[in-house]
Amino acid sequence: MMQSYQLPQFPPDFSCVHAALYIDVSDADLLRKRLITASTAEGLTGARERDAVNFAFIEARLITSADHLRTAIYQAVLAAAQGGLRTKTVHSEIIWALNPTNNITEAMRRYGVSDTTSALVVVRIAGPELLPASVEADMDAVVTGTKASFAALHDLTDWPAVKKYYKLGNEAGIRDAKDDPEREHAVVDHIVVSSVAMKSVMA
Amino acid sequence: MASPSSSLALISTSTLISQGAEAKVYKAHLSAAPSDPPVLLKHRFRKGYRHPTLDASLTRGRVAGEARALLKCLRAGVNVPGIRMVDAAEGVLAIDWITGNSVRKLLPGGADEDEDTGEDEDESEADAADALQEYDISVDVLMQLIGQEIAKMHLADVIHGDLTTSNMMLRHPASFTSRHPTLRTELVLIDFGLSYHSNLVEDKAVDLYVLERAFSSTHPDSEPLFASVLKAYEQRLGKEWAAIGRRLDEVRLRGRKRSMVG
């Protein structure tokens, strides 16, 4: 169920993307604590622990489509390849790219893992030497949940929350589509994907 | 800079579609994933005749401007291509690939851009009619769509700056699922490279005037066509139309430039 694809135009270290969707995640609170501890742990244990959680953990209910996720990944990898990261790692940059504002803490709180998270998207950016099977095993070791197809994202999406964060409540494009939820979701997805793609030149 | 530009590496594996003085346009795939749809890459390449610092800041500003205009249109419900990637440092903008044809090619007179017109004029009109049939749309409905889309754009205070029938596309019915009850295609406005934000009656009137001139210089006997574009525009615009219509009459008398000074 984990998806892997290549971005051949980037330097080898950033050229492989691995992503999986987990539903029925039961221990998000423990995972969140583990991430916080790992980030400050010292010595060899700290390094090993950071390596074990070296992923982007993303709140799946705020992802509108696989395109949305891919676009954020692309902009994060682009920033990393250009030496232009605004956050510490390419993984945190993905989460930053998903949030419409420039506030990093807000991005982590909204789009990162929280105690109430029940569906997670886990992403790893790596070089070609890391085999997909090994990445998947590492993901399975950190997350307790059921892997699902990315097609399931659409039904997990919390549309009111997405509309609120992107301030789409009163836009003419959304109002035109309000009688047809499917169409409204497609319009919201379209706007959100474009917003993520152009965040670097937003204001 | 950590490495040579990834966007240039991407371009080197893409197909060149067309080239202008300002940018080159390519068809590309952002990733090697088989499910990845194609995108249109617009590369504002380096201009050797400009100072590098000025060149970089102009390019960055124009990519940003085009992306912002597109997003503004998307939020306002105007049919425009979605944005897929922005690399302002390298002057690259990636947008959704639209499968279809430009309105110019679908109307009489627009198809034979390079050929000698005259003897095969009848033939080209027949071709245009055939082409529209493929999109299952009449000329009159097409004109209404154009008027509506421009009206939505102007209501959002976006001025296109280069409205021509080449900068409008019809989506091919086979390339997407229409959610419209009777239409199987969709009119999409493209190329926002010269667009800007304005709420002035003057700018909206000039935008329409530029399109009127494009119609009359490209398509023979286009007066009734443009009249139905304006009619649909007027309906969608409502009370704001009166001022714009009046100004359009003035612009027709004096031309696009407001003053003869400067």
Query: What are the extents of the domains in chain A?
Result: 3-201
pTM over 0.90: yes
Which of chain A's residues have a Cβ under 8 Å away from the Cβ of B5? 82
The boundaries of the domain holding residue B117 are 100-254
User: Are B112 and B219 within one domain?
Assistant: yes
Decide if A5 and B82 are in contact by the 8 Å CB cutoff.
no
How many A×B Cβ pairs under 8 Å? 114
Q: Is B140 a catalytic residue?
A: no
Number of domains in chain B: 2
Average pLDDT, 10 consecutive residues per value, chain A (203 residues): 95 96 95 93 91 96 96 97 95 97 96 96 97 96 96 94 93 87 93 97 85
User: Are B84 and B22 within one domain?
Assistant: yes
Average pLDDT, 10 consecutive residues per value, chain B (262 residues): 78 94 95 92 95 94 96 96 96 97 90 50 62 90 97 97 96 87 92 96 96 93 94 95 96 78 54
pLDDT value of position B260: 58
B242 found inside a domain: yes
Which of chain A's residues have a Cβ under 8 Å away from the Cβ of B13? 8-9
- CATH number of the domain enclosing B32: 3.30.200.20
pLDDT value of position A178: 85
Minimum-distance CB partner of A6 among B6, B32, B76: B32
User: Are B124 and B194 within one domain?
Assistant: yes
pLDDT value of position B2: 47
DSSP state letters, chain B: --SS-HHHHHHHTSEEEEE-SS-EEEEE-SSS-TTPPPEEEEE----TTS-HHHHHHHHHHHHHHHHHHHHHHHHTT---PPEEEEETTTTEEEEEPPPEEEHHHHSTTTS-SSS--STTHHHHHHHHHHHHHHTT--HHHHHHHHHHHHHHHHHTTEE-S---GGGEEEE-GGGS---SSS-S--EEE---TT-EE---HHHHHHHHHHHHHHHHHHSTT-HHHHHHHHHHHHHHHGGGHHHHHHHHHHHHHH-S-S-S--
Question: Is A149's Cβ below 8 Å from some Cβ in B?
Answer: no
| CA distances (Å), origin B37, targets B18, B97, B105, B131 | 20, 8, 25, 25
pLDDT value of position B181: 81
Decide if B78 and A173 are in contact by the 8 Å CB cutoff.
yes
pLDDT value of position B112: 57
User: Are B112 and B48 within one domain?
Assistant: no
Q: Final residue of a domain: which of B62, B96, B130?
A: B96
User: Are B92 and B114 within one domain?
Assistant: no
pLDDT value of position B115: 46
Fold of A3-201: PF0523-like (3.30.2380)
User: Are B20 and B105 within one domain?
Assistant: no
pLDDT value of position B113: 53
User: Are B109 and B220 within one domain?
Assistant: yes
User: Are B218 and B123 within one domain?
Assistant: yes
Shortest CA gap A19–chain B (Å): 12
User: Are B122 and B209 within one domain?
Assistant: yes
